[in-house]
Amino acid sequence: MENVSSSLFTEKLISIVSRSNILLDKEKILPYSTGIRVGGGFASIVVFPKTLLQLWEVLKECISFNKIIIMQAANTGLTGGSTPDGENYDRDVVIINCLNIKKLTLLNHASQVIAFPGTTLYSLEEELLPYNRAPHSVIGSSCIGASVIGGVCNNSGGNLVNRGPAYTELSLYARLNKQGKLELINHLGIDLGSSPEIILKNLEESNFSINQVPNSTSMASDREYKSRIREIHSMSPARFNSDPRRLYESSGCAGKIAVFAVRIDTFPISKNEKVFFVGTNIPENFTYLREKILTENNFLPDMGEYMHSSYFDGSAKYCKDTFLFIKYFGTKSLPMLLELKRNFDQIINKIGFLPLHLSDKILQFLADIIPNHLPKRLIEYRNRFEHYMILLASDKSIDEIRNLLNSLTKDAKDYEYIECSEDEGKDALLHRYVAGAAPNRYKIINQFSSGDLLPLDIALPRNYKDWNKIFPKEIYDQMSNSFQMAHFLCMVFHIDFVVRKGEESEVLKDKILKILDLNNAKYPAEHNVGHLYKADLSLVNFYRELDPTNTFNAGIGKMSKRRNYA
């Protein structure tokens, strides 16, 4: 009977999206059911709707046949939150991949936009350029190819200190209520009609005055964040995944609802920019620099990115191929490259005697024989200093940052800065941009000494000063390698451990999390709990309120995978 039901379900989906937009073969499903860094599990089917109405119809069939639904776009999450987790589900898991639904609507002369489920940050940046506007986020290495809605749903923080974490109170989404009825809720602040079919048709066809959309009292970005990070004596972090202040419908939902569209703010592009590259061997220098910027400067820089030498070296060695590709072909070509790489690995994996991750090994071999790609002055700083700060200042903040760095480094030992040329600045930012891929590539290349990845995404309290001494030596001694960098003005740290082969990663992880708890840190800071972290009470309550039947993304945050959270 189950096979008959499964066959009927498949027929229903085919009638909606056609057979070419469905995957049933296990090997073809695997790239969509496996996380980019961690996690993965069994999914019975992957569906690729092409319109909002198709998405709505697919959702209805999934609910009618009692399926678990995982909403997915680029599958770039670091914590496995957009894939299944294992096989111990009480219902079939269906992945709905929405990358084909990628329309973008500019509102009120591009001061805001409506992004659909497949709208990527690439396309948003491109569309906004003629209007001299920019999106909330600058695409980072951890989420190359990421979708706009994915950032909102997963509390993406990013590195732009004037804009804060991805956030909106204006969205269109579907949820399954306690009575088991699928509801479409329009909180975009735009009148699109009454029935779901009419609402979706009007939105997709832009049947409203796109340049006369009424202003809303609801926020379409975290406009309070600039003030929040200046509170440097606070014992709480500036931003973190489970912050109740920023859990609202689609924002932070982690896939517990199906988000059809979000309305978000855009921002004016700066007229002038300057990158400052700072080096020191005394971490306390950066603590003081942060305090001075946040308490005395009238204008905040756009970015304040910290890199430890571990991540500088990791990016230089293991991300060189990505750096060069982006530098000479641009970020918009990356999705095509990633698709080619994925298809290549799929074919290779079918050939039993060839090694796994062959594409990474080939790319690394080629990168190793290519001459050094980084500016000479940056390499010189790497040879002299252990800690680095990349400050991107614009317009009125440029002189403030220059004057501050002059005063702090003038007579200091082991503390200098470079005012980068335009090319040096681009390369410094790109070096940081690609760095997040280093731990995974390191693990692949050093497979015989490397165990699991432990990617930590930590929000430290705003008054925390011992950021370079969080973990004791015995933790590092059990690692094959470790990498550290941060959105430093926000005190959000990415510490990525590669566990040594033979060590118990779960035991290590428990020790690490206990240390973080003792220091009043919050985790994850900006990448969703996924299947790596246990959701705390505020998140559990939020998820259960959004999805009372546990139909969407069951098991997220190590919650129950069973219907109604049994």
**In b/e form, how buried is each residue of 501-514, taking b as 16+ CB within 10 angstroms?**
eeeebeebbeebbe
pLDDT over 90 at 29, yes or no: yes
In 116-170, DSSP assigns E strands to: 133-134
Map residue 120 onto helix, strand or coil. strand
For the stretch 292-312, pLDDT in tens is 999 999 999 999 999 999 999
Average pLDDT over residues 2-12: 83
First to last CA, the chain: 25
358 φ/ψ angles, rounded to the nearest 5 degrees? -60, -35
Q: Which long-range contacts (CB under 8 A, 24 or more apart) does 205-209 make?
A: 206/105
Map residue 407 onto helix, strand or coil. helix
pLDDT value for 103: 95
For residue 21, what are the CA distances in angstroms to 149, 239, 252, 334?
21, 39, 28, 23
C-alpha–C-alpha distance, residues 56 and 175, integer Å: 11
pLDDT value for 279: 98
pLDDT value for 357: 86
pLDDT value for 2: 55
pLDDT over 80 at 247, yes or no: yes
pLDDT value for 36: 76
Map residue 61 onto helix, strand or coil. helix
Average pLDDT over residues 448-464: 93
Contacts of residue 475, Cβ cutoff 8 Å, sequence gap at least 6: 508, 511, 512, 515
DSSP 539-557: HHHHHHHH-TT--BSTTGG
Decide if 133 contacts 112 (C-beta within 8 A).
Answer: no
Place of tokens 């062959």: 358
pLDDT over 60 at 453, yes or no: yes
Confidence of residue 175 (pLDDT cuts 50, 70, 90): very high
For residue 496, what are the CA distances in angstroms to 37, 142, 204?
11, 12, 41
C-alpha–C-alpha distance, residues 293 and 240, integer Å: 22
Q: Which neighbouring-strand residues pair with 542? A: none
C-alpha–C-alpha distance, residues 533 and 469, integer Å: 23
Q: Which of 181, 180, 100 is nearest to 147 (CA)?
A: 100
C-alpha–C-alpha distance, residues 527 and 529, integer Å: 7
pLDDT over 80 at 159, yes or no: no
C-alpha–C-alpha distance, residues 542 and 1, integer Å: 36
- Which amino acid, 142? S
Confidence of residue 254 (pLDDT cuts 50, 70, 90): very high
Contacts of residue 466, Cβ cutoff 8 Å, sequence gap at least 6: none
Place of tokens 């602040």: 189
Contacts of residue 442, Cβ cutoff 8 Å, sequence gap at least 6: 314, 318, 450, 480, 481, 483, 498
Beta-carbon count within 10 A of 383 CB: 9
If one compares 336 and 244, the residue with the highest pLDDT of the two is: 244
- Which amino acid, 456? L
Confidence of residue 1 (pLDDT cuts 50, 70, 90): very low
pLDDT value for 426: 95
pLDDT more than 70, % of the chain: 97
Decide if 445 contacts 364 (C-beta within 8 A).
Answer: yes
pLDDT value for 321: 93
DSSP 8-state assignment for residue 214:
P
pLDDT over 70 at 222, yes or no: yes
Map residue 248 onto helix, strand or coil. strand
pLDDT value for 33: 95
C-alpha–C-alpha distance, residues 506 and 529, integer Å: 16
Map residue 112 onto helix, strand or coil. strand
C-alpha–C-alpha distance, residues 521 and 514, integer Å: 10
Q: Which neighbouring-strand residues pair with 248? A: 251
pLDDT value for 331: 74
Q: Which of 343, 369, 370, 373 is nearest to 358 (CA)?
A: 343
Confidence of residue 140 (pLDDT cuts 50, 70, 90): low
279 φ/ψ angles, rounded to the nearest 5 degrees? -125, 145
C-alpha–C-alpha distance, residues 530 and 61, integer Å: 26
pLDDT value for 139: 54
353 φ/ψ angles, rounded to the nearest 5 degrees? -85, -10
Decide if 126 contacts 102 (C-beta within 8 A).
Answer: no
SS (H, E, C) 254-304: CCCCEEEEEEEECEECCCCEEEEEEEECCCHHHHHHHHHHHHHCCCCCCEE
C-alpha–C-alpha distance, residues 241 and 252, integer Å: 7
pLDDT, averaged across the chain = 93
147 φ/ψ angles, rounded to the nearest 5 degrees? -90, 155
C-alpha–C-alpha distance, residues 246 and 222, integer Å: 8
pLDDT over 80 at 342, yes or no: no
